[in-house]
Amino acid sequence: MDLLTADMIAKLVFTKAYKTTIEKFTEATFAKIKVLRDKIWNKFRVNQEANDIKQAFAATMVNIAREVPPHPNREFIDSVKYTIPHLREVAQNLSDVLPDKDFIWIFAALGFLYNSQSLYMETETLCNQCLSLAKVRFGENHLNIGTSLTNLAAIYHYQGRCSEAEVLLLQALDLEKHLNQLERYCSHITLNNLAEVYRAQKRYSEAEPLYLQALELQKRHKGDEHSELSSTLYNLAELYCNQKRYSEAEPLYLQALELGHSFEESKHPSLIAYMAGLARLYHLQGRYSKSEHLYQQALEKGKNILDDKHPFLSPILINFAALYRDQERYIEANNLLQQALEKSEHIYGVDHPNTKDLRQRLIKIPDTISPNDC
């Protein structure tokens, strides 16, 4: 052990060799690595060697974190599942050795991974920790504070806590304005997220200009054909759909799908949401066969590439059930709602408002009901 240097340890355990073989590791292997790492850190705790080792380890985790997409699919989550505890350890215990430019990446990556598995309580704890550490490290007036506020607001929105999300997003926008950073590309995320909160609150007239501002900002930085525009186009289409502006919504859904197909890989979860959104539009327009076909495609793709607890799946099941209900196909509607209820109970618990709402919907269309009774 005395002969081990920080450089040697980094090469053996914490650098590119570690990263390229990470998917082959078992949980037992990771446990052994952690034991070895802890022994090394304890041995060199009082000198510079320990700090070098920690920095090497943290840097490797940051490189992995940078590769985590905002909506990881099941395949990606499986490929990094044994890495998650190490990302968490950097966030909890080693953020002080991260350079300023890398600070936010660890927290963002963990948030993406947790949200894609509907682990909202874990994400909320993580985001609060990130915000607290960022305030201590950077002070109150720093872009990382704005990013931390936006990320925490997102989890509040997922949980239906829209009033709390709105407060945080307005704080983030005020901070970006104070720092003269409203024109930077990442500001479109804050604008888009605030618009989503307003849409959830049915404050449609306030949501629309924010979506348009976010879209204009993205086009200015990325051009008109970049795949990242697809999410804002989809959200704006959802707004128009809510307002029954169907003729304006359809081309936006189609454009979002077209741009979405240019994602680097065909298993991007957002494509599923785009298909389901267009399916809902067709349902509302009475174009039932087109709607059913798209819902079937979205569900099949979702079951193939998404984690069973992914938040995209339950809304698709619910809206697909509504299509069958309107066609008086009650047994099929009931089966879809039952699947959605099971997911909701598993993700949110039996007493969550979403779960209770689904239970009420099932009561209204039990599988024994006949069309004449509805």
d(CA 359, CA 364): 9
Domain 247-374 has CATH 3.40.50.720: no
When the candidates are 3.40.50.720, 3.90.1150.150, 1.10.600.10, 1.25.40.10, the CATH number that belongs to 139-219 is 1.25.40.10
Burial 143-166 (b: 16+ CB within 10 A, else e): bbbbbbbbbbbbbbbebeebebbb
- The yes-or-no verdict on residue 344 having pLDDT over 90 is no
SS (H, E, C) 303-324: HHHCCCCCCCHHHHHHHHHHHH
d(CA 212, CA 236): 8
Domain ranges, ordered by start, for the chain = 1-117, 139-219, 247-374
The pLDDT score that the predictor gives to residue 22 is: 45
Cβ-contact 111, 151 below 8 angstroms: yes
- The model's pLDDT over 279-314, given as tens digits with 9 standing for 90+, comes to 999 999 999 999 999 999 999 998 888 877 788 888
Cβ-contact 298, 306 below 8 angstroms: no
d(CA 230, CA 77): 23
- The model's pLDDT over 69-82, given as tens digits with 9 standing for 90+, comes to 988 988 888 888 88
Mean pLDDT of 100-111: 94
The pLDDT score that the predictor gives to residue 66 is: 93
- The model's pLDDT over 145-170, given as tens digits with 9 standing for 90+, comes to 999 999 999 999 988 899 999 999 99
The pLDDT score that the predictor gives to residue 49 is: 62
d(CA 235, CA 233): 6
d(CA 365, CA 188): 42
The pLDDT score that the predictor gives to residue 349 is: 76
d(CA 19, CA 23): 8
The pLDDT score that the predictor gives to residue 133 is: 96
Closest CA to 313 of 336, 332, 281, 329: 336
- Concatenating the DSSP letter of every residue in 3-47 gives T--HHHHIIIIISHHHHHTGGG--HHHHHHHHHHHHHHHHHTTTS
- The model's pLDDT over 8-54, given as tens digits with 9 standing for 90+, comes to 444 445 444 444 444 444 555 556 666 666 665 565 555 566 677 77
- The model's pLDDT over 260-283, given as tens digits with 9 standing for 90+, comes to 887 655 578 889 999 999 999 999
